[in-house]
Amino acid sequence: MADITEILKLLEQDSRLTPKQLSAMTGRACEEIEAFIADRETDGTILKYTALVDWGKAEHDPVNALIEVKISPQRGEGYDRIAERIYQYDEVDSLYLMSGAFDLAVMMTAKSMRDVSEFVFARLATIDGVTGTATHFIMKKYKEKNCIFAQPPEQEERGLFV
């Protein structure tokens, strides 16, 4: 019988799996899985169910950017106050506290590179405590959340004859 965390891993890979499918995959009773999922939704372990979209194939092709942010931690609050201010913006998809040369990594989506630039210089860089930024535009996605975007074409088998 599968470890209970396997259910979370399976849902993270494909949130459309039904309790019946999860039951068949893990060897646990369907009722046990339904109760487990309900409990994890209630306690906030399962936050949201989403779809991963290849926007490059859709009519709408937004700009994605990674913005590294250097900040001065606030006394008694560390990085949290500034992080809270940043994650409130609708454009911000993800925000991470990082180790290394920069303190925070901001993942954002916008309509254009200009919109990203305006966000950085008008909103992000003006926050008290932000001491520097570095913006990186994502040119092409190959893999995200364990999903490969562009499958390589199948190569036909080639033999070498001597």
Instruction: Please tell me the predicted confidence (pLDDT) of residue 159.
Output: 61
Q: Is the pLDDT of residue 152 over 70?
A: no
Beta bridge partners of 110: 63
CB 106 within 8 A of CB 95: yes
Type of residue found at 18: T
CA distances 118 to 110, 121, 124, 143, Å, are: 10, 5, 9, 28
Which residue in the block uniquely carries the two structure tokens 């937004």? Answer: 62
Topology given in CATH for the domain delimited by 55-140: Alpha-Beta Plaits (3.30.70)
What pLDDT is recorded for position 94?
96
* Residue ranges of domains in the chain: 5-42, 55-140
Per-residue pLDDT of 1-37, as tens digits, reads 567 789 998 998 889 999 999 999 999 999 999 999 9
Cα separations (Å) of 83 from 12, 66, 78, 96, 100? 25, 15, 9, 8, 17
Average of per-residue pLDDT values in the chain: 88
Quick: pLDDT tens for 93-143.
999 999 999 999 999 999 999 999 999 999 999 999 999 999 999 998 888
